[in-house]
Structure 1
Amino acid sequence: MRLILALCVVSCAVPARAADPAPKPTAAQLEFFETKVRPVLADHCYSCHGTKKQSAGLRLDTSAGIKTGADDGPVIVPGDPAKSRLIKSVRRENEQAMPPKAPLPADAVAVLVEWVKAGAPVPADIAKEPTADPKKHWAFQPVKEPAVPTIANPKSPIVNPIDAFVTAKLTEKGLALAPRADKRTLIRRAYFDLIGLPPTAEEVEAFVKDEAPNAWEKLIDKLLASPAYGERWGRYWLDIARYADSKGYVLTQERSFAFSYTYRDYVIRSFNEDKPYDRFVTEQIAADLLPLGDDNRALAAMGFLTLGRRFLNNQEDIIDDRIDVVTRGFMGLTVTCARCHDHKYDPIPTKDYYSLYGVFASTNEPAEPPLIGETKRTAEVIAYEQELEKREADFKAEIAKRHTATLKKLREPAAIAEYLRAVLDMRGKSNMEVQGALRQRDLLRQVFDRWRTFLEAEWKAKSPVYAPLLQLVAVPEKDFEAKALGVLPKDANALVLKALTDAKPKTLKAAVEAFAKVVGAPLPPGELTKEQAEVFKVWNAGGPLDIPLADADKLQNRLDRDALAAIRKKIDAFKAGNPHAPPRAHVLKENPQPTQPVVFLRGNPGNRGPQVPRQAPEIVTGVNRKPFTQGSGRLELAKTIASPENPLTARVMVNRVWLGHFGQGLVRTPSDFGVRSDPPVQPELLDWLASGFTKDSWSVKRLHKRIMLSSTYQQSSAVSGDLYKLDPENRLLSHQNRRRLDFEGLRDSLVAASGRLDLAQGGKPIDLFKAPFSTRRTVYGLIDRTNMPGTFRAFDFASPDTHSPQRFQTTVPQQALFLLNSPFVQEQAKSLATRKEIADAKTPQEKVKALYRVALSRNPTTEEVALALEFVTGDDAKSAFGSWPQLAQVLLLSNEFAFVD
């Protein structure tokens, strides 16, 4: 127990220090400001507090102005909305209610409150130079293979061009690469970098003893060929794709994606097969438009687009999310900043945003995702299909039942009279007025439109049945009783004349009701007379009372929709939860007619601006771009993104792979290569790698190997104090970075140490935090947007709500407490302590040695053996968690276990 207490003290102690200055805003905070806060300020505040006018000395269109405040002091207290005058003003809680004429919309107020609560982060103002052209930014220039530097008398071994580029920069500073790490360090680094699992002691010893010149290369090839490689690097991509197994909050719908796992399995398979990256990109945008042949499993790739949040099914937000994941994920472009206004920094006008919007607005998600791969017709699969067929049939029967009941009501004279009066009253009214009136009268728009279309056609044809209605409308209400029957034409339909004559209506309402009784009467048996055929046109195909079952959803009221949604939710839950459901792909398909996009002024769909063509952003294709002509344009967009001529795609992916091997990218903002991004620490090296990547058939595995064979990658992570002062952020790559395992690497290593790791691949997601605890790899864990486990959050798991370019790293008490107290970790410690090779040890010394070899892949030192033996002396074998499991847990919690040098 003393070792565990000591470890807890080391893990949780935080040295006291002076208050830090205001932290630099994160990329996510700046994105929130540009996409949410600035549009609110632009729409409601700039007219009085902008470039031309600064009422009360307050300017809100610059970061300096926001921080300075008004003539009488700051208007924002970062982190405290309640004390911020700006928030009080927009809430209208003080004398300076703003905006002065009309209150700010509630959602806009909420955005400002959230921003202030987060510390009111703003981007630094930049001086605008008249000659500065953002189109000349380095990332927008074509990729050209640079010459490899020649280093005279290098202080470090130059194995490949990567080392030459790095050494050239180091030499300028009088530095050199750090010495090569020892072989034990290198094999552990390679294992975690490529497969996310630790090597065994036997594998470490075999590598250390292998003196062959190509021993390191053989190790890399072995790991790249491992199925575990795709699981490790597939997980990185799932962060970029904001992958989750649920939709988030979607009101009455089933929240789970029934077949999300097929996208995850597609990604893992693609990395293992070393699918060319350009093909990988294309499939994720437009696999349905590619000739896939007999193997249609690539359709699952479109989960990249379809597995995002559902934003309460708001289509504008769903499409915005798809634009964001495509442009940031593949090209490092923050295009969604142009949703409400031209991008403030990058050359991306609002028109380019809506050109892409039109691409995705021209698609839809099929109600039934397509089957993929081969399905074995087992008894369980057949039983599943039969049960699903029964449930679907019951659902359709319920729709038909409700449709019939609705039609019965709509065919009653009282309902017919309501719609006839509505059509008469709404002549010449605007669409907005019609919509408001129908809402007040509780009438269905679909039924109203059918009646209006029908009546207008009949009036135009001077129908003897329906034309009299227009004559009745023209009679003044005060004279109606006396004059109504006199205005009816002599050639009016006999049935209508008789009904109105018998009713002797005193008001137009009464006349319409009498008319409705004729029209709504049951169809008489036998052949209809001429007069009857004229009256009962309403029952003909396409008539207002002949509403097909296909339009049932347009007739449903809230009760109908809620009841049907509850049934549909149960069916979807059955498909999502049944282990025998054949795999399907969440795809998009083309609309029959593509959407002609328009600019939404200020991002408001109700404020429509000029039309724009569906096309790629100009900064990617150049001024000579052509509008897309093939359906939605998705395939043309995919080919544009995956083109070797695109200056961004290869650079962005190369940078992501470098990030995975060094903990930091050559560009430190991996999903933002725009004007505001961090410049690359090695621009020539980035272009050399990007050029080689495309020439190498876009092979990610060869890129890994090229990086890992370099002396730069194989450096030691040890760094002297003097070197740290010269290169504190290791921007010069003067040593390797020591890195802590991410949650997947840590959890998988714990389960591997227990000896129970299940290496089965693929399949439906499993709950990692529910006992009995799964022993599958973490990549197969369930990711629920609505209810993200606290353990994920504590260990900096990527948020699935939006595209995540890289993981943040924090050190918080919850991490140490989980590792100390979680039943899952204790279960792994117990399993480790009782593994066969440990249990079979004949002496305590041999048991300690076996424990160290399994947990840390090495033999213990003499001092470590002595300390361990002292700790386990007097162990109670009957204890639920005795000294040996505690010793195992100490090793599993050690820095040596959790960090990679």
Structure 2
Amino acid sequence: MKRSIHYILLICMLCVLYTIYSCNHFSAEQSTTEEIPDTISYNFNIRPILSDKCFKCHGPDASKRQAGLRLDIPESAYSALKDNPAAHALVPGDLDKSELFQRISTSDSSTLMPPPNSNLKRLNQYELALIKKWIKQGAKYEKHWAFVPPKYTPVPEVKDKTWPKNPIDNFILARLEKYNIKPNAEADKERLLKRISFDLTGLPPDLATMDKFLADNSPDAYEKMVDELMAKPQYGEKMALHWMDIARYADSHGYQDDNYRTQWPWRDWVIHAYNENLSYKSFITWQLAGDLMPNHTKEQLLATGFNRNHKITEEGGVIDEEYRVSYVTDRTNTFGKAMIGVSLECAHCHDHKYDPFSQKEYYQVFAFFNNVKEVGIETTVGGPETYAKKPLMQISNDDVKSVLKFVNKKDTGKLIVSIMGDSLNYHKTYILKRGSYDAPGDEVSAGTPKAILPFNDSYPKNRLGLAKWLFDKDNPLTARVYVNQIWQEFFGRGIVKTLGDFGMQGDLPSNPQLLDWLALDFRDHGWNIKRLVKQMVMSATYRQSAVISPEKLKEDPENIMLARGPRGRLPAEFVRDEVLASSGLLTKTIGGPSVNPYQPPGLWENTTSGRGQLASYKQVHGPDLYRRGMYTLIKRTVPPVEMAIFDASNRDQCEVQRLRTNTPLQALLMMNDPTVLEAARVLAAKLLQEKSTANDKIYKAFRLIICRKPTAKEMGILTAYYTEQLQSANKQSADKLLSVGEYPIPPQLDKLDLVTMMKVVDTIYNLEEAITKT
């Protein structure tokens, strides 16, 4: 037995070693065949190598720096070496005198860099060739690419003049042609309709829409469908979902008591703003500083609820100032990640170790958000006032009839929302030593990181001035960051993969020229969001088939070069929406309070303090039971379980991109979730009431759920399963399965027929394609 175990372990170790060797060998082989650019860029060619192989010991982290040498800044790299004043790490134009090149290219293991015992890989021949050419060209350092304002690049010329449909395609195709890769053909109309329907509304197309699109053979059929979908009110819901994650929107305050909050009117405003195509400039300015705008409206005041979506404590015994500082910190960090795409929070306790942001500059940004009329904890208990925290605004029925018509307020009770409002008494801001609320250091005034863009003295030193700084024509980040977020929404991956980190440790853009062109085009066309979205979905790049050939999978497994269409699992909320919409259960009401659909019993009761409105779970009934996923109530300490399983955010903090996992729990959820089973039963009942054959009913169910016509093979499998289940059906198991869900069963239907068709429909819901954008 022991010999067998040892033998198995030996085989495993050999496999691992072979895999490591193969990967390293393949990587080096690939690198040596890549073309050396005519002009070497520090940002795009050299810095990634130094960061990977050198910065561990010769980078910005002073605590780990060796030999007093920094290679991330030219002043140090060009200076005489501490241990050998006659030598220099880099001598522009001179390889022989550049100690760095001598040490990375030597065969002497005693002087080789990185040292063989450092666990860092030796530079391959391609990397050595890049550094060699860079030094010969003068070893020029560059300001970090993301902190340099974007510049227009001429739209590239391409060999295939027939493929591009707009400039986006020229940028994509120019790169593909460089590597002799051909893009995929356009997806078929059924898959294309499903793709744009989910991407523009978050819902599947209905049968009438499918048939209309398939029958329309006009040259502009696709564009007409895009326009039709973008005009639907569901467009605003779809676009708002991503912003809910960024804004850390939730329906509870968080922390131990985690009581209810009425912040949903702000969510109604976001949906409204997207549907009305409010410019991105206004969209952000109102949220950051609507209360500071001259003659501001109540709508602009409501928009500032963005800043108050953070967690708020209601617990006794906490230190007021500690929590007040934590609220300001949250707003500061959210601003950094969401709007300028940098890890500003890393400078909360000390100077940033990688990006050129000092701790002082962090607290200068902090100062913009530090004057709000709020406290760390409010002592008020009971009544609607506890649903929102000061500063706040009340929304009256008259408001809903006039200035706030988009707010879905049905009852006549008080409706109170947390908003922004600065104190008349200026609150001083100090650098907090080690980030501790009770260790103030030097006083600072409002300002911004100089490496990005110095704050213009003509701007007011408040949140309105910060908004003006964001949309200054010289700000290098604002437009880039947002177009990158929207790009991920439609292509599944940002041009910069790290959406929240455009800094030194973030990924380089896969197509920097395209990113800059999009950013400037977006800015120069009035920050028009709908125009930006339409540009993307109208492109030939977006319209490609998502079929993955073995060759393309090997060449580009992550689809970085976009030689195929986007493919990925639907977001958690849209999985629910797809099930409800295709079954006909979906309640399409826009906006309003969040609801509690089905949930396993005892989850809230076992994790709550036992106080407040959310101490126990109270499920809704009737139409509210079938609302879209984005309206499911989010209690921060116990987020909706079905959403969490599908990687939705619990909204504790700003989240610019979700994880995408594929776990057995997701399959178990689809097979056992009451909503899915109920939807299968309801759709089966509707089909059984139609005068058609069993084959026709299955065919229709497949189209409703998968959004295309089934193949003969697929129909054969499903009809065979239907026949098998019909023959083995029994009343006892039928009653148990049919009892799931509250929607009534038509009394005239035979239960055995119903449960059989229900199982077939449920099987279709459990196909991978049902919850995948293809």
Task: Tell me if TM exceeds 0.5.
Answer: yes
2:260 is aligned, of 252, 256, 260, to: 256
Equivalent positions of 1:349-360 (< 5 A) are 349-360=358-369
Cα pair 1:281 1:642 within 8 Å, conserved: no
Equivalent positions of 1:780-799 (< 5 A) are 780-799=631-650
Cα pair 1:358 1:597 within 8 Å, conserved: yes
The corresponding residue for 2:457 is: 626
Instruction: Say whether 1:640 aligns with 2:469.
Output: yes
Offset, 1:870: 3.1
1:143 is aligned, of 134, 141, 150, to: 150
The corresponding residue for 1:284 is: 287
The corresponding residue for 1:272 is: 275
Equivalent positions of 1:735-814 (< 5 A) are 735-770=564-599, 772=621, 774-814=625-665
Cα pair 1:297 1:372 within 8 Å, conserved: no
Task: List gaps (5 residues or longer) in structure 2.
Answer: 1-14, 21-60, 68-118, 375-388, 402-408, 600-618, 738-754
State how far apart, in whole Å, the 1-side matches of 2:216 and 2:553 are. 33
The corresponding residue for 1:91 is: none
1:605 is aligned, of 433, 437, 440, to: 437
SS at match of 1:361: coil
Offset, 1:132: 9.7
The corresponding residue for 1:841 is: 691
State the identity %. Answer: 33
State how far apart, in whole Å, the 1-side matches of 2:250 and 2:549 are. 43
1:213 is aligned, of 212, 219, 222, to: 219
Cα pair 1:179 1:715 within 8 Å, conserved: yes
Offset, 1:236: 0.7
The corresponding residue for 2:357 is: 348
The corresponding residue for 1:224 is: 230
State how far apart, in whole Å, the 1-side matches of 2:273 and 2:343 are. 26
Q: Note closer, same or farther for the CA distance 1:665–1:367 as it changes in structure 2 (3 Å cut).
A: closer
The corresponding residue for 1:581 is: 413
Instruction: Say whether 1:371 aligns with 2:200.
Output: no
State how far apart, in whole Å, the 2-side matches of 1:123 and 1:316 are. 41
Q: Please tell me the residue identity of whatever aligns with 2:512.
A: P
Cα pair 1:614 1:627 within 8 Å, conserved: no
Instruction: Say whether 1:591 aligns with 2:423.
Output: yes
Offset, 1:697: 1.0
Instruction: Say whether 1:855 aligns with 2:705.
Output: yes
Equivalent positions of 1:673-684 (< 5 A) are 673-684=502-513
Offset, 1:374: 4.5
Which of the two has greater helix per residue?
A: 1
State how far apart, in whole Å, the 2-side matches of 1:758 and 1:823 are. 17
Q: Please tell me the residue identity of whatever aligns with 2:291.
A: D
2:517 is aligned, of 688, 700, 703, to: 688
Q: Please tell me the residue identity of whatever aligns with 2:354.
A: Y
Q: Note closer, same or farther for the CA distance 1:854–1:629 as it changes in structure 2 (3 Å cut).
A: closer
State how far apart, in whole Å, the 2-side matches of 1:861 and 1:833 are. 21
Offset, 1:628: 6.3
Q: Please tell me the residue identity of whatever aligns with 2:332.
A: I
The corresponding residue for 2:52 is: none
State how far apart, in whole Å, the 1-side matches of 2:273 and 2:496 are. 25
Q: Note closer, same or farther for the CA distance 1:124–1:817 as it changes in structure 2 (3 Å cut).
A: farther
Instruction: Say whether 1:327 aligns with 2:355.
Output: no
Q: Please tell me the residue identity of whatever aligns with 1:184.
A: E
The corresponding residue for 1:659 is: 488
Cα pair 1:753 1:855 within 8 Å, conserved: yes
State how far apart, in whole Å, the 2-side matches of 1:767 and 1:727 are. 43
Offset, 1:327: 1.4
State how far apart, in whole Å, the 1-side matches of 2:246 and 2:196 are. 23
State how far apart, in whole Å, the 1-side matches of 2:367 and 2:142 are. 24
SS at match of 1:736: coil
Q: Note closer, same or farther for the CA distance 1:307–1:579 as it changes in structure 2 (3 Å cut).
A: farther
Equivalent positions of 1:885-896 (< 5 A) are 885-896=758-769
State how far apart, in whole Å, the 1-side matches of 2:191 and 2:683 are. 23
Q: Note closer, same or farther for the CA distance 1:650–1:179 as it changes in structure 2 (3 Å cut).
A: same
1:868 is aligned, of 718, 724, 727, to: 718
State how far apart, in whole Å, the 1-side matches of 2:142 and 2:281 are. 24
Offset, 1:616: 2.4
Q: Note closer, same or farther for the CA distance 1:688–1:322 as it changes in structure 2 (3 Å cut).
A: same
2:240 is aligned, of 234, 237, 249, to: 234
Instruction: Say whether 1:337 aligns with 2:346.
Output: yes
The corresponding residue for 1:706 is: 535
Q: Please tell me the residue identity of whatever aligns with 1:848.
A: I
Offset, 1:134: 9.1
Offset, 1:340: 1.1
Cα pair 1:614 1:628 within 8 Å, conserved: no
SS at match of 2:441: strand
The corresponding residue for 2:557 is: 728
Task: List gaps (5 residues or longer) in structure 1.
Answer: 1-16, 22-45, 54-121, 379-576
State how far apart, in whole Å, the 1-side matches of 2:120 and 2:284 are. 32
State how far apart, in whole Å, the 2-side matches of 1:361 and 1:853 are. 54
Offset, 1:146: 1.3
The corresponding residue for 1:183 is: 189
State how far apart, in whole Å, the 1-side matches of 2:549 and 2:263 are. 48
The corresponding residue for 2:678 is: 827
State how far apart, in whole Å, the 1-side matches of 2:412 and 2:16 are. 59
Offset, 1:782: 0.5
Cα pair 1:838 1:850 within 8 Å, conserved: no
Instruction: Say whether 1:246 aligns with 2:97.
Output: no
State how far apart, in whole Å, the 2-side matches of 1:302 and 1:885 are. 47
Cα pair 2:190 2:708 within 8 Å, conserved: no
The corresponding residue for 1:296 is: 298
Q: What per-residue deviation string (whole Å, max 9, x for no partner) do you get for residues 102-160 of structure 1?
A: xxxxxxxxxxxxxxxxxxxx999999999999981111111222111112345x61111
SS at match of 1:208: helix
Equivalent positions of 1:157-172 (< 5 A) are 157-172=163-178
State how far apart, in whole Å, the 2-side matches of 1:283 and 1:377 are. 19
SS at match of 2:431: strand
SS at match of 1:284: helix
Offset, 1:877: 8.3
* TM superposition score normalised by structure 2: 0.71
SS at match of 2:398: coil
Out of 862-871 and 239-248, give the one that drifted further. 862-871
Offset, 1:652: 0.5
The corresponding residue for 2:311 is: 309
Offset, 1:819: 1.1
Q: Please tell me the residue identity of whatever aligns with 2:178.
A: E
The corresponding residue for 2:740 is: none
Equivalent positions of 1:86-125 (< 5 A) are none
Q: Note closer, same or farther for the CA distance 1:262–1:216 as it changes in structure 2 (3 Å cut).
A: same
Q: Please tell me the residue identity of whatever aligns with 2:283.
A: F
Q: What per-residue deviation string (whole Å, max 9, x for no partner) do you get for residues 241-283 of structure 1?
A: 11111111155xx7221x2101111111111111000111111
Offset, 1:321: 0.8
State how far apart, in whole Å, the 1-side matches of 2:336 and 2:568 are. 29
Q: What per-residue deviation string (whole Å, max 9, x for no partner) do you get for residues 292-330 of structure 1?
A: 66x512322222211112366612222111101111101
Cα pair 1:361 1:595 within 8 Å, conserved: yes
Q: Please tell me the residue identity of whatever aligns with 1:857.
A: C
Q: Please tell me the residue identity of whatever aligns with 1:592.
A: L
State the aligned residue count.
587
SS at match of 1:598: strand
